[in-house]
Amino acid sequence: MTEIRKCKVLIIGAGPGGYVAGIRAGQLGLDTVIVEGNKAGGVCLNVGCIPSKAIIHAAERFESLQKHSVKEGHMGLTVEGTAKLNMAELTNWKDGIVNKLTNGVDALLKNAGVEVIKGWARFTEAKRCIVNTDDGEITIEAENVIIATGSSHIDLPFMPCDEEFILSSSGALSLNKLPKSVAIVGGGYIGLELGCALTKLGSEVTIVEGTDNILSIMDKEIRRPLEIWLKKNKVTIHTNSLARGAEIKGKGASRKVNLIFDKNDENHTLKVDKILVTVGRRPNSKGWGIENMGIRMDASGNFIRIDRQCRTSAPGIYAIGDVAGEPMLAHKASAQGEMVAEIIAGKNREFDKIAIPAIVFTEPEIVSVGLDPEQAKNRGEHVIIGKFPLAANGRALTLEAEKTGGFVRVVARKDDHVILGIQAVGSHVAELSGEFILALEMGALLEDIADTVHAHPTMTESFHESVMKTLGHAIHSA
């Protein structure tokens, strides 16, 4: 006889949305069950945000060591010998960080009194599912359901990822040997982040992008320093180019893969060690019985339709994170998960965020919060804009962050000086995002930031100066 487990809250998926919802529900005293087929932490912690940032950091260290290894050294520092890379050991170090964090999430769920069931759920009714576990089937009946199934890598049907020659982003984060050459299909933030890291580690990188520009989610001015870095570091970029297929050639250790792509109505072939496919992600909204739950989808038919409390069209069923629509970001999922747990507990909450930050960990890093100048003007706003170069910031100079040609840019409404958006590009600017977000969420005026004393010497002074520039009286910039 199948075991039946009844609970107050059932969460499907233990990613950054699901596990946060579970912990908060447990803190509020709700009988909570999470069903997860893999490891806690989801894509972000296991094969996404965290491991990629570990690889990116290691690549920065390796690049720095190489600078000190050259004959003349750097900063007056010279390291005897040549910096060497052991990709297998780098991957093991990255895995250690991931394991530490996943174990930490497991402990937090346990401390919150949340039951975690390892297995795959399939819904037979709106609030009833059957979970296949290693020990057999369990039927779960819940008063409330939170769908946090996340998203998956998009495979190209004509060149599916085999994780040997054709890699997904997950495969690229598990390399035991650095490829000499890599072709990246897709010039979005995932492909560019990994492309920058691989370039620093020593791979020859080519990017094939179907649209007019790489990183098209960002405006031309903000992505310009990245384009300069890519050119300087001999990364080849093919825009308006469409991948058409791949062929594996050779035998044994000499085998390579040919990427076939179209550009300017001409067929091209590029021979590389690996192809990395980063053409986006799709929500995990199929294959687990959503059709039995009476849930409405959005116009695309891919995302679950929700309101500002993350409620679906079925009473007592919520959806959070990637499966519930753009932006597909871990921090959005976590914020929604915490909110939904509190709503179920009877609190009055609503997801009404002024700005959700977008951060790209390329070289240089890029941050965008709120509206950029073009977006603001398209909404009919009359704006004033201030831009402050990192080259005029003392702390940026000591960190060599100014070498990327970075800056902080502020967009504000002209008549009342309300800040509408902030963008920054440069080394280490990701750490400025917290102040940017807070300014928008608090409805800050330019004068609020201008009157705030910023510590010297810090990168945050660049934000202060960009605001002063917007007001027309920056101190350290003409």
Catalytically active residues are: 456
Pairing mode, strands 236-238 and 241-249: unpaired
The Cα–Cα gap between 372 and 21 comes to 32
d(CA 428, CA 436): 14
Structure tokens, 172? 């690229």
Rg (CA), the chain: 24
Cα 264-269-273 angle, rounded to 5 deg: 135
Per DSSP, the residues of 193-220 read HHHHHHHHHT-EEEEE-SSSSSSTTS-H
Segment holding 78, helix H or strand E:
none
Instruction: From residue 420, give the alpha-carbon distance in Å to each of 67, 449, 467.
Output: 40, 13, 12
Identity of the residue numbered 113: G
CB 209 within 8 A of CB 301: no
Q: DSSP of 337-405, one letter per residue?
A: HHHHHHHHTT-------S---EEE-SSSEEEEEE--HHHHHHTT--EEEEEEEGGG-HHHHHTTGGGG-
DSSP state of 25: H
- HSE at residue 387, side-chain half, CA atoms within 13 A, is 13
Residues 6+ apart with CB under 8 A from 216: 187, 188
Which residue do the tokens 């989801």 mark? 42
> What are the b/e assignments for 145-164, b being 16+ CB within 10 Å?
bbbbbbbebeebeebebeee
Q: How far apart are the two ends of the chain, measured CA to CA in Å? A: 78
Burial class (CB in 10 A: 0-12, 13-18, 19+), 8: middle
Whole-number Å distance between alpha carbons of 41 and 19: 7
Give the list of residues 6+ apart from residue 205 with CB closer than 8 angstroms, or none. Answer: 181, 182, 183, 184, 195, 198, 199, 235, 236
C-alpha 42/C-alpha 271 separation (Å) is 34
Beta strands in 13-85 (DSSP E): 32-36
